[in-house]
Amino acid sequence: MTETLPSTEVPERVRLWTVASLIAGRSAYRLALYAAGILLLAAWGSARFAPYAAALGTTSWLTTVVQMGPEKAALKLLPRARRTHGDLVATLRAFALLAPILLVGVAAVAVVAAPESRVALYALAAAQATALGSVLLGVALHRALGRPRSDTLTFLLLALGTVVLIGLAYTPGISPVAYLTGQLVLTLAALGLLLRRPAPKRRPRPGVRRLLTATSVLMGTPEVLMNAGTSVLYVELTAGAHAGQSSELYLVLQGWAVIIAFVYFLQRLLQPRLSARLAIDGAADGRTRIARLARPVVALGAGWLVAATALLAVFPTPVTDLAPVRLTVLLAVLIVTRIPAYLLMSQVTFVLENTDAAGLRTSARGAVLSMLTVAGVGAVATPLLGAAGAVYALGVKELVLALNVTYRPRPKRLTRGPYK
């Protein structure tokens, strides 16, 4: 399309001080969230905390629906855009503002009609996940426009608010519904501060919304489906006899989320340069990197499954009968040993989705296959192994994604870039 001609300039490298300040703000928020999991469990007890953890785990994929696709599309298209730069920014800003409205309204009705109910808890968790996705998209727009300070200040505000809400859970002792209500109000306030500047009052050029929507869907599908697979595992766990292990699963996956968020954030900082570079050099260099990195992931993923199967088979005590602390340690060991395969596969996906349209389709196909496989393995493993079965099912993800990339059909011809 002529609206987004590839630029001949590669964006400047992000300054070290900027990266450090961005990581500091996000780390403060992530640490506050992780501390909240431990401290709220102590304040509420397992009986009240487990439904709260299940609600957050089941609805967390909504954050990726709002954030991942639009953010990736923005960081891919904006460096290449000339005449459509303002149209892209205005469209993304409007989407970030409008995305949470429906679920916030549903949550408000649920809290008024049935306070302290499971319905209100899940409605608030869904609204909070959506609002957080809008905030993440909002700070990405600020970074793309050269205002990284807004990213740091936003997450410091969210971290401070979370600390205050944790304190209220002890004194005077607010409930999970009240805590999530506070989190939702805090997140909406941060969103309002981020996007308070009025957008230009003009219609985007023809084709901009279609291009942005198509790119967002293709680039966001992998993370959305993979997070949806994790949410399905929470549903499978809470629907069975081991629902009480949702607390341990939530705590371990929150720690895992810190690693994922860090890697994802570094990739988003580098994405504008990679996108512009591939637009200039073509996709051939990207495909060479993909092939080189994907093959070791197959070996690592298969090896992890064999080792995890052996560990769970010979474990001296049935994993469903482990005490909470021992179960948490076991889950942490299973998660941490996935890191090498995850890091390599994350880089493969990062380069793949920034090469060309064929790369986007391959990435989306792999996400569908991995979600179906994780959900299928989890349906068998969670009734037998509880939370350990859920983590075991997650370990299948990297192997499926790597096989999808390794054995994908080769395109008939190479192009300089997806948009001309």
Angle at 342 between CA 336 and CA 347, to 5 degrees: 145
Give the per-residue pLDDT at 365.
87
Tell whether pTM > 0.85: no
CB atoms under 10 Å from CB of 12, counted, come to 8
Report how far residue 246's alpha carbon sits from residue 1's, in angstroms, rounded to the nearest whole number: 48
Of 19-33, 117-131, 207-221, 320-334, the poorest mean pLDDT is in: 207-221
The residue-averaged pLDDT of 237-253 equals 89
Give the per-residue pLDDT at 1.
33
Give the per-residue pLDDT at 274.
56
Q: Of 14-18, 190-194, 276-280, which one has max mean pLDDT?
A: 190-194
The residue-averaged pLDDT of 333-345 equals 90
pLDDT of 414 over the 50 cut: no
pLDDT of 225 over the 90 cut: no
**Percentage of the chain modeled with pLDDT above 90:** 43
Give the per-residue pLDDT at 70.
85
**pLDDT class for 416, splitting at 50, 70, 90?**
very low
Report how far residue 389's alpha carbon sits from residue 384's, in angstroms, rounded to the nearest whole number: 7
pLDDT of 268 over the 70 cut: no
194-203 pLDDT per residue, tens: 988 655 555 6
pLDDT of 128 over the 90 cut: yes
CB proximity list for 177: less than 8 A, separation 6 or greater: 111, 115, 116, 117, 120, 121, 124
> Do 188 and 104 form a contact (C-beta atoms < 8 A)?
yes
The Cα-based distances of 79 to 35, 140, 265, 307 in angstroms read: 37, 13, 17, 44
The residue-averaged pLDDT of 34-59 equals 92
Report how far residue 73's alpha carbon sits from residue 66's, in angstroms, rounded to the nearest whole number: 12
Q: Which residue has the higher pLDDT, 259 or 83?
A: 259
The residue-averaged pLDDT of 381-410 equals 88
Give the per-residue pLDDT at 269.
67
pLDDT of 417 over the 50 cut: no
9-43 pLDDT per residue, tens: 445 555 777 778 888 888 899 899 989 999 999 99
Give the per-residue pLDDT at 317.
73
Q: Which residue has the higher pLDDT, 178 or 16?
A: 178
Report how far residue 241's alpha carbon sits from residue 382's, in angstroms, rounded to the nearest whole number: 9
pLDDT of 226 over the 80 cut: no
pLDDT of 179 over the 90 cut: yes
Residue entry with tokens 């090498």: 340
* Residue 121 structure tokens: 């808890």
Q: No. of H helices and E strands in the chain?
A: 16, 0
**Percentage of the chain modeled with pLDDT above 70:** 84
